[in-house]
Amino acid sequence: MADSSKTEQATPKRREKARAQGQVARSRELPGVFALAAVAGVTALMAPIAITHWTTLYRDTLYVAASGNLDSNGPVLFWSAVEVMRWLAPILLAAMAISAFSGLAQGGVNFAPEALALKFDRFNPVSKLGQIFSPVGLSNLLKSLLPFGAILWIAITVLRTHWEKIVLASNLGLRVFAGFVGSMVLELTWKSGLVLLCWSAVDYVLTLRKMEGDLKMTKQEVRQEHKETDGNPAIKSRVRQLQRAMRRKVLQAAATATVVVTNPTHYAVALRYETDMSAPMVVAKGRNLLAEKIKLLAKEHGIMLVENRALAQALYKSVEVGDSIPAKLYQAVAEILALVFRAQAEVRKAEAARSSRNASGRKTDGASQRASGPSVASPGATR
């Protein structure tokens, strides 16, 4: 009886685990049916030449027997072996090939070492008897009896249909009788094969449904598998917190940069250089969203942005945060720093000139105010 708590469909991981254990939906009857069809088909193709070959074999055998040459090393055994192999080899090869193809078509190639592992409980006769007389074993027995019963009914129907000819078969010639028996066998074969094919399809559907039911999971099993696959939510939350803290640290370090080299859209590398440093140092770097944040922070703090695609990619891929740039990038970085320092010097010079103009303007205004101060009237002027 199926577990009512297993309401969730099997996850891909559960299916992979079941496949590794050898649990694949395959009908055991289907390869047998296709093998039987292959045997019948090859036999039908070889039947037209059968009479000629066997007649020749019997004639040669009787001739050798009449001559008295029946030694163990004589030609009779060789001829018989060749003729048997000529018939059996194509039939067996076709049956094996079609049977293997039908098995592969159902579940593909599946090598399951766990299913081949030695388990001593498989050799326990008590458990085997329990499986045979269990409800599952009895249901499998009944399922096997159903197609057998259908084939038996077909055989009885064929015999009843041709009963009059069977009764009068003694009056028929050898060739006519052989053709009559062959037609009966052919009719019984294709009808039985059709029954077995339909039953194999039904058996495959039932096997697939049973396997899907066995692979169903409870909600707790699904949650547990998600935890094992994606990690514990608490750990994931802690990882996200650490990532956010790292991004904040990167942005704080980017605020101390001298220049930011961009890709311009995908990469951003913040470089810092002081006169007491042996070489410029990468204080922050980022891609995509983090690169946009670094560029936005640089604009807010007045840090110069320089677009250099090749240098930005080389710095991002070859230099870690906190490390100095390699010697092969000195020249390219030096050119950028020289440009930055010239721009900063020009800005400082412009600010100094503006400050001096403002200061001289304030002094001139003060002097003019003192020169045009309020005048005091003399006493004689009032008279």
Residue 286, H or E segment: strand 281-287
- Using DSSP's 3-state secondary structure scheme, residue 323 falls into coil
Sorted by sequence, the CB contacts under 8 Å of residue 303 that are 6+ apart come out as: 254, 255, 257, 258, 259, 260, 270, 297
Rg (CA), the chain: 48
The domain locations on the chain are 12-109+123-225, 248-350
Q: What is the pLDDT of residue 376?
A: 36
383 residues of the chain, pLDDT tens digit each = 455 677 777 777 777 777 777 677 777 777 888 888 888 888 878 877 777 777 887 787 777 777 766 666 666 677 777 778 888 888 888 888 888 888 777 766 666 666 566 666 666 676 666 666 666 666 677 777 888 888 899 889 988 888 888 888 777 777 788 778 878 888 888 888 888 888 888 888 888 888 888 788 887 777 777 776 665 666 677 777 777 777 777 777 777 888 888 887 788 888 888 877 788 888 888 888 888 888 888 888 888 888 888 888 888 888 888 888 888 888 888 888 888 778 777 777 777 777 777 766 665 655 555 555 443 333 333 32
Distance separating alpha carbons of residues 260 and 253, to the nearest angstrom: 12
Q: What strand order describes the sheet that includes 304-307?
A: 281-287, 267-272, 259-262, 304-307
Other residues' Cβ atoms within 10 Å of the Cβ of residue 271: 25
Q: What is the pLDDT of residue 1?
A: 46
User: What dihedral do alpha carbons 234, 235, 240, 244 form, nearest 10°?
Assistant: 100
Query: Which DSSP string do the residues of 57-90 spell out, in sequence order?
Result: HHHHHHHHHHHT---TTSHHHHHHHHHHHHHHHH
Q: What are phi and psi of 251, to 5 degrees?
A: -70, -35
List residues bridging with 95 in a β-sheet.
Answer: none
User: What dihedral do alpha carbons 332, 334, 340, 341 form, nearest 10°?
Assistant: -170
Cis bond upstream, residue 90 (ω within 30): no
- Using DSSP's 3-state secondary structure scheme, residue 349 falls into helix
Q: What is the pLDDT of residue 379?
A: 37
Q: Helix 125-132 vs helix 135-161: angle between axes, to the nearest 10 degrees?
A: 50
Determine the residue type at 10.
A
**Tokens read off for 25:** 């939906």
Q: What is the pLDDT of residue 153?
A: 92
Asked if 61 contacts 83 with a C-beta cutoff of 8 angstroms, the reply is no
**Tokens read off for 290:** 């983090």
In the CATH scheme, what is the homologous superfamily, with its name and number, of domain 248-350? secretion proteins EscU (3.40.1690.10)
Q: What is the pLDDT of residue 184?
A: 86
